[in-house]
Amino acid sequence: MTLGSSPSGGPTRAGGAPSYSDRVSEQRQTERRVVIVGAGMAGVQTAVSLREQGWTGSVTLIGAEPHQPYDRPPLSKAVLLGHAEESAFDVDFEALGIDLHLGREVTGVRPGAHEIDTPSGPVPYDALVVATGALPLTLPGGEGVPGVHLLRTLDDAARLRPVLGRQHDIVVVGAGWIGAEFATAARGAGCAVTVVEAADRPLAGTLPAEVAAPMAAWYAESGAELLTGARVAHIEPGAVVLADGRRLAAGAVVVGIGARPATAWLAGSGIELGPDGSVTADARLRTSLPDVYAVGDCASFPSARYGERLLVHHWDNALQGPHTVAADILGETPRDYDPVPYFWSEQFGRFVQYAGHHARADTTVWRGDPAGADWSVCWLRQGALVALLTVARPRDLAQGRRLIVAGVPLDPDRVADPSVPLKTTTL
């Protein structure tokens, strides 16, 4: 995946020669230092966006993992199943003049000194970008038990590949998006899979009951067993013990119960955090401290489109937000960051896509039979589309995203007819 190209150079006026003020501005920029903490999608894209938009100052990108920066979605798919060895970004950091430091932890921020702290010494900055993503939640009592796994990093995927190869009995804790994707991969590898979910349905924290209910049948169709309303009491070597006393044989346990912004290292810095641990960024992704930005899974932002603050833990948010950050660092006046959230999931032979935010919708409209191979759900608010979920209906998704941006009222009866293109349902 190619994220960037070489920098475009400084601004020029008509006739091609930079003015004196342009040269002074570029000289000042060249002397400024941008430091980005976090070398995932959000951090890498911020560095690339700075160069693409003409930043001539230094750019330092610091990642905690020792691996070349890589894309995470393939970890639960191609990398996990051994169809690919890695998913490194196709970025020439040296050619872009990006100073890349890998395997380096950042332990704190001292905004008064404009420095971050690392075990090898302080790193000064003129602008700091927090892009440390999110960390998966662990299961209480599961830490240190042999055979208990998370799936977030390249090393996690590497540890799980031989587990699938040995076709262990696997227990997946959590029937969210990552749990479903891992269960799909494990069944594809021939493993016996039991998925344990504390709620009464899969995706309970993400989708309404009537939308998530049809997805429960996908587990049985794939040969996986889904246990809902089942809480884990404890894990021991070779078994998961449920609160009702049932014991599930488990050659391996994979925990997928959510994630929390990786912001503990900001404690004491003065950067405002929300109750969910996210950095409370503004509409330009600036934090409560001057010269400090936050982007991606670790940052919440105010959405005028949806009338609330959003925390979006998905790839598209990490891809889009950096453009706003780079423009603001360059001294431009970017449009407020207010995207239509988007994500996708490949599970049980189905391609599921979601765009928007349905929390304040007042009308739900189905397109097609949820027992069938392809269908969609549309959420309207005051007649306008605010979100949709599609199963094997990519055209609905593409047209629906544009309708969400337009904010125009739709005809619910025509929306409900799956044979009618969504783009033709406007009033």
Distances (CA, A) of 298 to 66, 152, 154, 260: 21, 15, 20, 8
Find out whether 205 and 212 touch, Cβ atoms under 8 Å: no
Q: How far is CA 305 from CA 76, 301, 348, 407, in A?
A: 32, 12, 33, 9
* Consecutive H or E run containing 313: none
| Domain stop point among 205, 227, 257 | 257
- Is there a single domain that holds both residue 324 and residue 355? no
What's this model's pTM, rounded to 2 decimal places? 0.90
The reply to whether 372 and 320 lie within a common domain is no
113/143 same-domain check: no
In DSSP notation, 173-242 reads E--SHHHHHHHHHHHHTT-EEEEEESSSSTTTTTS-HHHHHHHHHHHHHHT-EEEES--EEEEETTEEEE
Whether residue 417 sits in one domain with residue 358: yes
CATH number at residue 395: 3.30.390.30
What is residue 2's DSSP assignment? B
Whether residues 249 and 150 fall in one domain: yes
**Closest by Cα among 203, 73, 88 to 151:** 73
Are 253 and 294 in the same domain?
A: no
Which residue range(s) make up the domain with 201? Answer: 138-257
Same domain, 252 and 264: no
Amino acid identity at 128: L
What whole-number distance in Å separates Cα of residue 342 and Cα of residue 168?
34
Let me know if residue 15 belongs to a domain. Answer: no
Edge to edge, the sheet with strand 279-280 lists 279-280, 299-303, 308-311
Q: What pLDDT does residue 42 have?
A: 98
pLDDT per residue of the chain (427 residues) written in tens, 0 to 9: 345 433 333 333 334 555 544 544 555 667 799 999 999 999 999 999 999 999 999 999 999 999 999 998 888 877 787 776 678 999 999 999 999 999 999 999 999 999 999 999 999 999 999 999 999 999 887 777 889 999 999 999 989 999 998 888 999 999 999 999 999 999 999 999 999 999 999 999 899 999 999 999 999 999 999 999 999 999 988 999 999 999 999 999 999 999 999 999 999 999 999 999 999 999 999 999 999 999 999 999 999 999 999 999 999 999 999 999 999 999 998 889 999 999 999 999 999 999 999 999 999 999 999 999 999 999 999 999 999 999 999 999 999 999 999 999 999 999 999 999 999 999 9
Tell whether 45 and 62 lie within a shared domain: yes
Joined together, the tokens standing for residue 215 give 């997805």
Is the residue at 151 inside a domain? yes
Q: Give the strand pairing for 279-280 and 299-303.
A: parallel
Structure tokens at 347: 């599970």
In a domain, 49, yes or no: yes
- Residues in CB range of 406: below 8 A, 6 or more apart: 426
How many domains are contained in the chain?
A: 3
CATH code: domain of residue 54:
3.50.50.60
Tokens of 290: 């001057």
Distances (CA, A) of 342 to 252, 284, 359: 32, 19, 15
How many C-beta atoms lie closer than 10 Å to residue 8's C-beta?
12
Helices (H), 223-381: 315-329
| Residue that is last in its domain, among 223, 257, 291 | 257
For residue 1, what pLDDT is reported? 39
Looking at the structure, do residues 250 and 271 belong to the same domain, yes or no?
Answer: no
Domain finish residue from 257, 281, 299: 257
pLDDT at 142: 76
Q: How far apart are CA 103 and CA 34, in angstroms?
A: 19
Query: In this structure, which amino acid lies at residue 407?
Result: G
Cα-flanking dihedrals φ and ψ of residue 310, to 5°? -115, 140
Tell me whether residue 4 is in a domain. no
Q: Is residue 106 part of a domain?
A: yes
Structure confidence at residue 82 (pLDDT)? 75
Burial 109-138 (b: 16+ CB within 10 A, else e): bebeebbbbbeeeebebebbbbbbbbbbee
**pLDDT at residue 333, rounded to an integer:** 85
Domain membership of residue 3 (yes or no) is: no
Nearest to 395 by CA among 425, 371, 372: 425
Query: How far is it, in rounded angstroms, from Cα 427 to Cα 424?
Result: 9
- Are residue 147 and residue 183 in the same domain, yes or no? yes
Asked if residue 123 and residue 71 are part of one domain, the reply reads yes
Query: Cβ neighbours of residue 191 under 8 Å, at least 6 residues apart?
Result: 164, 167, 168, 169, 170
Question: What pLDDT score does 83 carry?
Answer: 73
Do 118 and 266 sit in the same domain of this protein? yes
Residue 56 lies in a domain: yes
User: Is 11 among the domain residues?
Assistant: no
